[in-house]
């Protein structure tokens, strides 16, 4: 009798709490019963379900956890970039654009319920261990990642520098699951690197768009212009750049533009709409630019590529970009929680939405080693926005998913240890390492970059332009 009374009291308190939430929501958002009957009825159903599970489920459950999971499911059903962020996930998101953090250095997404690598970050533990785009991380420290929330997976892989994390990877074409033990390191927050390719020709590599990226770009250009007087041409590398802060993308594009639209943002019914334009700065940085993109170029990097392409400021070379043409906002909630969700689409200066389509290069050049045959090229199988579940333009799921999962299940615990010592580098890994020379900021090592077919073609275009310019002046 006492137990039943406790259950009744507990259930009664929960019902009262849910009722209070509904009443509060009514006060804040207006009379839901009068204006949004469907929403009001849904809230009543939700409170009924919570009360039923909390009172009668076979094991004790916490109403708070049930509610959090319900919100996670709601946000996850919208699109791949919307999420409910608990306090620890919100803190991690802020650290990505501000302070340093320890981790293994990969950009990941959820594709059809699988934790999938978009790209490794050059110079990090994951990069050095040979992690590649499209690798599926099936386990982290022995725990399956299937149906894991993205922020939970990120949290597991982050940690103090010097500590280890073990990941199991499925790679298409490999017969066995690969096991990698990685030592976490401080992930470099520097987002801009530069080097002189050849006298008069600079190379500027932007890895992502963080809080001070535009300032770093301005400084790198100033240094290169001082070293190469005059600077005859610039290769701007945005390959494998997953994006970042919108305002930094706008500022970087503005560095190279004197006039014109940079990007337009349009939300539902005119909300969140804005038009960003370039500002004149006296005609500096007027040298020709070849901008490199590939399937790993997403979001903010696509804004820059689209702005420079549509304004005729740069020739875009490479392969079609990722195609993330949506804008997210992060709204802090009470008790450290936050919502990250899509509020608008963005449009290039020509008025094109690239959502699930991508930036199409002016000149298609596949990425490969110049002294080897690469078939379809390294970029052929990179994940695109259109591959992600619930992306804003609907598309059928990947037909090969079931076959991939069968291979993963069949492989089971037959792990294969892969290290740089006992495994030959694949062509993809060799190509990725060509940019290592930029870490030393040394022109003497820049010849390695020119083995990359896309960088080499960009340099040849700039060199040819300079030659013709010289002929026209004679």
**Active-site amino acid positions:** 299, 310, 324
DSSP string of 150-161? HHHHHHHH---T
C-alpha to C-alpha distance for 209 and 62, rounded to whole angstroms: 39
The DSSP string of 18-29 is HHHHHHHHHHHH
DSSP secondary structure letters along 177-233: EEEEEEE-EEPP---EEEEEEETTEEEEEE--B-TTHHHHHHHHHHHHHHHSSS--E
Sequence-separated (6 or more) residues with CB below 8 Å from residue 287? 230, 231, 232, 233, 234
Q: Which residues pair with 345 in a beta bridge?
A: 266, 326
- The closest alpha carbon to 120, from 162, 82, 169, belongs to 169
- The answer to whether the beta carbons of residues 117 and 133 sit under 8 Å apart is yes
For tokens 């009924």, name the residue: 48
Question: CA–CA separation, 30 vs 145, rounded Å?
Answer: 41
Place of tokens 């919502």: 339
Q: Decide: helix, strand or coil at residue 137.
A: strand
Which DSSP symbol is given to 119? E
**CA–CA dist 211, 179 (Å, integer):** 35
Q: How many residues does the chain have?
A: 474
Task: Fill in the DSSP letter of residue 165.
Answer: E
Residue listed under structure tokens 């409170």: 47
Q: Cα dist. 38→42, 45, 384 in Å?
A: 6, 11, 36
The answer to whether 229 and 249 are in contact (CB under 8 A) is: no
Nearest residue to 326 via CA among 388, 380, 377, 368: 388
Structure tokens at 309: 């392409």
Give the other-Cβ count within 10 Å of 419's Cβ.
10
161, exposed or middle or buried, with CB in 10 Å at 0-12, 13-18, 19+?
Answer: middle
Q: Specify the DSSP element, H or E, that contains 464.
A: helix 453-473
CA separation, residue 320 to residues 21, 150, 204, 285, 370 (Å) = 47, 26, 20, 26, 20
Tokens, residue 325: 């043409």
């Amino acid at each position: 009798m006492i137990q039943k009374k406790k259950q009744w009291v507990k259930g009664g308190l929960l019902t009262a709490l849910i009722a209070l939430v509904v009443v509060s929501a009514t006060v804040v958002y207006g009379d839901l019963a009068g204006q949004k009957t469907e929403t009001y009825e849904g809230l009543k159903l939700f409170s009924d379900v919570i009360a039923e599970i909390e009172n009668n489920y076979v094991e004790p459950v916490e109403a708070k956890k049930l509610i959090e999971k319900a919100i996670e499911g709601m946000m996850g059903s919208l699109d791949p970039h919307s999420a409910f962020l608990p306090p620890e996930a919100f803190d991690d998101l802020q650290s990505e654009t501000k302070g340093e953090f320890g981790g293994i250095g990969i950009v990941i997404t959820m594709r059809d319920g699988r934790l999938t690598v978009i790209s490794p970050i050059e110079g990090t533990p994951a990069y050095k261990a040979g992690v590649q785009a499209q690798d599926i991380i099936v386990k982290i420290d022995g725990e399956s990642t299937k149906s894991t929330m993205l922020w939970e997976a990120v949290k597991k892989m982050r940690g103090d520098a010097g500590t280890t994390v073990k990941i199991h990877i499925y790679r298409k074409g490999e017969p066995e699951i690969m096991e990698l033990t990685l030592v976490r390191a401080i992930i470099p927050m520097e987002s801009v690197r530069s080097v002189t390719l050849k006298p008069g020709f600079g190379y500027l590599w932007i890895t992502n768009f963080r809080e001070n990226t535009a300032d770093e770009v301005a400084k790198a250009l100033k240094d290169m212009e001082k070293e190469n007087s005059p600077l005859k041409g610039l290769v701007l590398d945005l390959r494998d750049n997953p994006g970042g802060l919108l305002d930094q993308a706008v500022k970087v594009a503005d560095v190279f533009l004197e006039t014109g639209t940079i990007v337009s943002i349009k939300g539902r019914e005119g909300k969140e709409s804005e038009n960003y334009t370039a500002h004149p700065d006296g005609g500096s940085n007027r040298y020709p630019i070849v901008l490199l993109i590939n399937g790993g170029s997403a979001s903010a990097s696509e804004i820059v590529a689209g702005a420079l392409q549509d304004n005729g400021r740069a020739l875009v070379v490479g392969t079609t970009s990722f195609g993330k043409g949506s804008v997210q906002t992060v709204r802090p909630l009470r008790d450290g929680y936050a919502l990250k969700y899509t509020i608008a689409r963005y449009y290039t200066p020509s008025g094109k939405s690239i959502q699930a389509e991508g930036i199409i290069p002016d000149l298609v050049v596949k990425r490969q080693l110049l002294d080897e045959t690469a078939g379809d090229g390294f970029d052929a199988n990179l994940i695109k926005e259109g591959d992600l579940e619930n992306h804003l333009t609907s598309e059928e799921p990947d037909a090969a998913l079931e076959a991939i999962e069968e291979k993963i299940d069949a492989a089971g615990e037959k792990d294969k240890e892969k290290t740089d010592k006992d495994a030959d580098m694949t062509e993809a890994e060799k190509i990725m390492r060509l940019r290592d020379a930029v870490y030393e900021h040394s022109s003497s090592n820049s010849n390695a970059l020119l083995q990359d077919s896309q960088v080499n073609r960009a340099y040849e275009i700039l060199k040819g332009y300079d030659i013709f310019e010289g002929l026209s002046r004679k």
